[in-house]
Structure 1
Amino acid sequence: MKLMGLDYGDRRIGVAVSDDLGWTAQGVEVIDRQRESSELQRIAKLVEQYAVEEIVVGLPKNMNGTIGPRGEICMVFAEELRAELNLPVHLWDERLTTVSAQRTLIEADVSRKKRKGVVDKVAAVLILQNYMDSKSKK
């Protein structure tokens, strides 16, 4: 079963998809958020292109586990995806995934300019991979 992971941000949405077996996540692209509905249309096209059956959206929680304003925005986005695509949408705790993605890119000696363009995609990969790893342990 193919899964899609999304790192939903104010300016960009990182996108990752799983392999057919649901073992590994690969970064697909970063969607620049320009118009309100354009990102939903792009996600719908990617869902069709990759035959995605479920979506995982990163839920940014505060360090104490509570959900703040950013998390609430992601929850609304997840509901919009469910309604628009008629697919199961799961929320996954994404605390520190962007920090981890930045650290990984810095360790790989990726320039600051290039990091800015791919960090959201790497964060989406981490969200999706962590979700899949948690499911495979059960």
Structure 2
Amino acid sequence: MSDAVRSVLAFDYGLRQIGVAVGNTLLGTTSALPILRARDGVPDWSAVQALVTEWRPDLLVVGEPLNMDDSESELARRAQRFARQLHGRLGLPVEMADERLSSREAKAQAREQGHRGDYQRAPVDSLAAEIILRTWLSQQG
């Protein structure tokens, strides 16, 4: 990671919604942001642009949902495509990050905080994005 990278936006890619989190590499802090709705994996690109304009990230991180045996899933291929689209549309560097078990961890954390298990009504995708970002930050340096 370059010393110039200070602000990072992370995405937990999904077909119906995309979790988002922001982090700061100097402080090591992360925060979940509101999810982005998606239709068959395609977000509202103007909403993505608004996030980038607001947070001014130096880098984007996209969770890569690999299978437990390290093979690529169809969703991993779609997440990689989403990452290429982010780079192409926004001109920012994008890194992929292994996100195995991040959704499971997000659900466990949410349950500990009183979540009732209705993940459609109260999604945890942005919490998963925050976990992806925390993991990525811990692997830097």
TM-score, normalised relative to structure 2: 0.88
Partner residue in 1 for 2:129: 124
Amino acid paired to 2:13: Y
Is 1:61 aligned to residue 66 of structure 2? yes
The number of equivalent residue pairs is 136
Q: Which one has the bigger helix percentage?
A: 1
- In 1, Cα distance between equivalents of 2:113 and 2:137: 24
Verify: 1:96 aligned to 2:101, yes or no.
yes
CA shift, 1:116, in A, is: 4.6
Question: Aligned partners of 1:125, 1:94: CA distance in 2, in Å?
Answer: 11
Q: Is the 8 A contact 2:12 2:128 kept in 1?
A: yes
User: How has the CA–CA distance of structure 1 residues 69 and 59 changed in structure 2, closer, same or farther, with 3 Å as cutoff?
Assistant: same
Q: Tell me by how many angstroms 1:133 deviates.
A: 0.9
Q: Per the alignment, do residues 95 and 20 of structure 1 end up closer, same or farther by CA in structure 2, a change over 3 Å counting?
A: closer
Residue 109 of structure 1 aligns to a residue in which SS? coil
Higher mean alpha-carbon deviation, 108-117 vs 74-83, is at 108-117
* Secondary structure in structure 1 of the residue aligned to 2:83: helix
CA RMSD after TM alignment? 1.9
Q: Which of the numbers 8, 28, 50 marks the counterpart of 1:23? A: 28
How many percent identity over aligned positions?
28
Give the structure 1 partner of residue 79 of structure 2.
Answer: 74
2:29 aligned partner, one-letter code? T
Q: Structure 2: where are the runs of 5+ without partners?
A: 1-5
Partner amino acid, structure 2, of 1:56: V
Secondary structure in 1 matching 2:45: helix
CA distance in 2 between partners of 1:45 and 1:6 (Å):
15
**For structure 1, which segment, 97-106 or 114-123, has the greater mean C-alpha deviation from structure 2 after superposition?**
114-123
* Post-superposition offset of 1:112: 2.3
The CA deviation at 1:109 is 1.6
**Closer, same or farther: CA 87–22 of 1 in aligned 2, 3 Å:** farther
What's the CA shift string for 1:78-103, capped at 9, x where partnerless? 00000000000000000000000001
Structure 2 CA distance for aligned equivalents of residues 104 and 63 of structure 1:
21
TM-score by length of 1: 0.90
Question: Following TM superposition, where does structure 1 have runs of at least 4 consecutive aligned residues deviating by more than 6 angstroms?
Answer: none
Unaligned runs of 5+ in 1: none
- Of 39, 53, 61, 1:48 maps to 53
Aligned residue number for residue 6 of structure 1: 11
